[in-house]
Amino acid sequence: MRTQRLFPASGAFLNERKRNPMTPRQGLHLLPFGATQPRQSEPVKTSLGAFQRWSPFGVNLWQTLKNPTKLWATGAASLHSAQGAAVGPAPTITFDPANQVFKLQSGTMSYFLHVNPEGDLEGLHWGKPVDTVHPELLKSTPGLDRSWQPALDLTAREFPDMGRGDTKTPAVKITAAQGQSSSQFKYVGHEIRPGLPALKNLPQFHEAETVGNACKTLIVRMRDDVTKVDAELTYSVLPEFNAVIRGTQLINRGSEPVQIEKLASFSTDFPPEDYRLLTLSGTWIREAQEETVPLKPGKLTIASNRGFSSHAHNPFITLLRPDATEDHGDAYGVALVYSGSFSAEVEQNVQQHTRLTMGLNPDCFSWRLQPGERFETPLALGVYSDQGLNGLSRQFHSVFRKHLVRKGWADKTPPVLLNTWEAVYFNVNHPEAIEIAKKAKALGVELLVVDDGWFGVKYPRNNDQAGLGDWVENPDKLPGGLQALGKAVNGLGLKFGIWVEPEMVNPNSELYEQHPDWVLHQPGRARTQQRNQLVLDLGRTEVQDHLIQSMSRLFDAGHIQYVKWDLNRLMTEVGSAALPPRQQKEAEHRYMLGIYRVLKVLTEKYPDILFEGCASGGGRFDAGMLPYFSQSWASDNTDAASRLAIQSGFARAYPIKGIGAHVSDVPNHQVGRTTSLKFRFHTAMSANLGLELDPRKMTPDETAFAKAQIALYKTIRPIVQDGHYRVLRPSKTNNWPAWMFSRPDGSEAVVFAFQKQAEPGLQIPMLKLAGLEEGALYSVSGLEKPVSGAYLMHVGLRPAFEGDYDSALLQLKRLKN
């Protein structure tokens, strides 16, 4: 059988292979193929027969559905951007008073709510667009209604309260001044407003410039008559997207304080089904590992009690219906817009009624609400897709980019950076930084980042035992300060950036000498150190102001175009010297409000500085940081093989452009593995490419190869970073993971394919692409003949891998007809 080789090996690459015989060969093999016909898409057929048979509404309903009134999607007005291009249907929210039904319609999604006769708010439907749902049809079967089970347990509730027979996890738990914690929140009214809710102190979504003030928000007011506490549940819909943004606020309208013990941002009940739950779990140097489990009766909790969202569980979860795959079927994702301790609970009872609740972690939170006060939860984003996990990811990426990522940054091109950490660790100094910068510039790098080690005068930062908190340049390492180094680096034609970890302090520091009470601590208890450091009490305004001032002093000196904002430990002994005993449990959430204030002030004050988030790698890679950090360092593990799972895990929710990925030296500093430079580049190029090695130590062949790859990346960067992302084969379950990026119109695409282990005697499966135009012809890098989109998507290509950790990069371009 004749095979045609794809992607001919480059000179630099062959040299590398000579030097390192373990370096796998480049390329893909394409099986012989003939002419193919584009497949016609099937017309959609619907059948209402089954519905008619069991509908208690009989013929009337059947007639209504047979001649449905116009579905909202077809009738909805289109919005227009400033340029006049249609950008998607306007979202609508309507209230049907006769049936007490709220209809939220957006993108290709309906989210319906119902105020039942008891005043409870029920969820009727979240999924594909419909124009009507009849609450009566959703009632549980008669046998169950007569059972011993409390009726509330079988009701699909949107704001489940406590203590009256709903035995699943509550969304709200308040303790009245008299000590009781039952509640009954009943509907008292609602409002439908243009725009998005404005939170006082927490990260929020913004209207996209292209669509103006087109978002809509429903506020449902509920009241607990005994405590006189009001709840406001907000539901916002956005143009184009299958998304609902939710949040909860409590207002104490009584005359006595109440204690909030739990208040979820998002809670909804799903109809009985065999769901699977996908989460991103891990630990340091092993972030965002996809875990999928079938639900069973019982409660599954994904949480952080560490004071930051943490490596252990990401605040993003996905519920999959049985038929959901990478590209098809119903998937529901929820992401919490918060970076502190959180909890996501998924509970199923024996009838498979399934509740999903997400918000602040009640184990780490309690809040005293005085009469007249209001408490707001973080927001949470819920997304629905009928196009499986890939459809869900695309929705999340787009919503985040358009409505949450720091304003103005989602469309900027992030520079290819070189970070000094794995090159010199703490031994950074002016002359060596310049040497590194010169080599980096020759490779095509666009930004030099001086990582840890550049600061500390009385307590020099020569290792992790001293200096944190003292944000003044070390005169021995940087005699001219950051200003002189930044100026020199800029003079070489590179941007310049620094590492900081402002939220922390080493006991060996001038800051701690001056303000030992500025750290989180509890009287009488030892202050647990981790990485020799303590956590500053950011709930205190004076500590926030100190951070703003010390960072401003650095940024004002000029020549800083980038900041890597790190955080390297969890919270322990959480308590604040500034709070009375009754409010000590507020310290953790007050810290979060404080860090958000600091980040808001600094990112607004320095609009041209690119901020990258980091928390010992990807420990605070969450939606809450997107309004401030347009990118995040995904892991301290720079081993390309480990990175496949880590990066593709984060990519389930977060935009590709925001996933920091660096090529580093071998043997890898974290896992000791040696992989080829090609494999390392391909892994990093499928996210936001950077380097983290000493370019002075590279051989001429490596230098040439790296230079060529960086140049190539710059040409594909717009497609990788701004295109549609699709997992073709997931890393978690596949030895040959692959993903592709394509322009939304299918005109261009880039495919990355990998082999983890060589598998003797096994046939590498054909790789079927997606998102192309079936009837169009594509040029494929390394192939002489053009190939049809239909062939590429339905027959596929067979990558030609050799040895462990091999990879291939393919570029596709649609040819003009």
Binding of residue 330 to ligand DGJ (CB under 6 A): no
Residue 584 φ then ψ, to 5°: -60, -35
Q: Which is nearer to ligand DGJ, 388 or 619 (CB)?
A: 619
- What amino acid is encoded at 533 in this protein? Q
How many chain residues interact with ligand DGJ (CB under 6 A)? Answer: 11
Select from 2-10, 589-597, 609-617, 739-747 the region that touches ligand DGJ (CB under 6 A): 609-617
- Exposure on the CB side of residue 695, measured as CA atoms within 13 A: 27
Pairing of the two strands 243-252 and 374-376: antiparallel
Binding of residue 446 to ligand DGJ (CB under 6 A): no
**Tokens 């020799």, residue?**
532
Give, as ranges, the residues between 400 and 439 that touch ligand DGJ (CB under 6 A). 421
Q: Which is nearer to ligand DGJ, 343 or 420 (CB)?
A: 420
Binding of residue 684 to ligand DGJ (CB under 6 A): no
Active centre residues (catalytic): 566, 636
Q: At what angle do helices 11-19 and 700-722 cross, to 10 degrees?
A: 120
Mapping DSSP to helix (H, G, I), strand (E, B) and coil, where does residue 583 land? helix
In the complex, what is the shortest distance from the CB of residue 662 to ligand DGJ, in angstroms, rounded to a whole number? Answer: 9
* Chain residue at closest Cβ approach to ligand DGJ: 452
Binding of residue 287 to ligand DGJ (CB under 6 A): no
Residue 149's Cβ-count burial label (10 Å; 0-12, 13-18, 19+) is middle
H-run or E-run covering 331: strand 331-336
798 with 764: CB under 8 angstroms?
A: yes
- According to DSSP, residue 111 is labeled E
User: From the list 386, 451, 639, 806, which residue makes contact with ligand DGJ (rule: CB under 6 A)?
Assistant: 451
In the complex, what is the shortest distance from the CB of residue 636 to ligand DGJ, in angstroms, rounded to a whole number? Answer: 4
How far, rounded to the nearest angstrom, does the alpha carbon of residue 406 sit from its chain's CA centroid?
Answer: 14
User: From the list 636, 701, 722, 806, which residue makes contact with ligand DGJ (rule: CB under 6 A)?
Assistant: 636
Taking alpha carbons only, the member of 332, 363, 370, 122 closest to residue 233 is 122
User: From the list 183, 242, 616, 676, which residue makes contact with ligand DGJ (rule: CB under 6 A)?
Assistant: 616
Binding of residue 665 to ligand DGJ (CB under 6 A): no
| Residues, the chain | 817
Q: Which is nearer to ligand DGJ, 451 or 503 (CB)?
A: 451
- Spatial separation of the C-alpha atoms in residues 96 and 641, rounded to whole Å: 54
What sign for the dihedral angle of Cα 148, 150, 155, 160?
negative
Q: Which is nearer to ligand DGJ, 260 or 445 (CB)?
A: 445
User: From the list 282, 617, 660, 723, which residue makes contact with ligand DGJ (rule: CB under 6 A)?
Assistant: 617
Select from 99-107, 304-312, 610-618, 643-651 the region that touches ligand DGJ (CB under 6 A): 610-618
Taking alpha carbons only, the member of 679, 682, 657 closest to residue 668 is 679
Q: Which is nearer to ligand DGJ, 122 or 692 (CB)?
A: 692
**How many angstroms separate the Cα of 138 from the Cα of each of 68, 154, 568?**
20, 10, 49
Select from 186-194, 221-229, 533-541, 611-619 the region that touches ligand DGJ (CB under 6 A): 611-619
Binding of residue 629 to ligand DGJ (CB under 6 A): no
Give, as ranges, the residues between 476 and 505 that touch ligand DGJ (CB under 6 A). 499
Q: Which is nearer to ligand DGJ, 295 or 560 (CB)?
A: 560
Q: Which is nearer to ligand DGJ, 421 or 741 (CB)?
A: 421
User: From the list 181, 420, 568, 807, which residue makes contact with ligand DGJ (rule: CB under 6 A)?
Assistant: 568
Binding of residue 612 to ligand DGJ (CB under 6 A): no
Mapping DSSP to helix (H, G, I), strand (E, B) and coil, where does residue 256 land? coil
Q: What is the dihedral of CA 398, 400, 402, 404, to 10 degrees?
A: 170
Q: Which is nearer to ligand DGJ, 88 or 695 (CB)?
A: 695
**No. of H helices and E strands in the chain?**
16, 41
In the complex, what is the shortest distance from the CB of residue 383 to ligand DGJ, in angstroms, rounded to a whole number? Answer: 29
- Exposure on the CB side of residue 535, measured as CA atoms within 13 A: 29
- List residues near ligand DGJ by CB under 6 A: 421, 451-452, 499, 566, 568, 614, 616-617, 633, 636
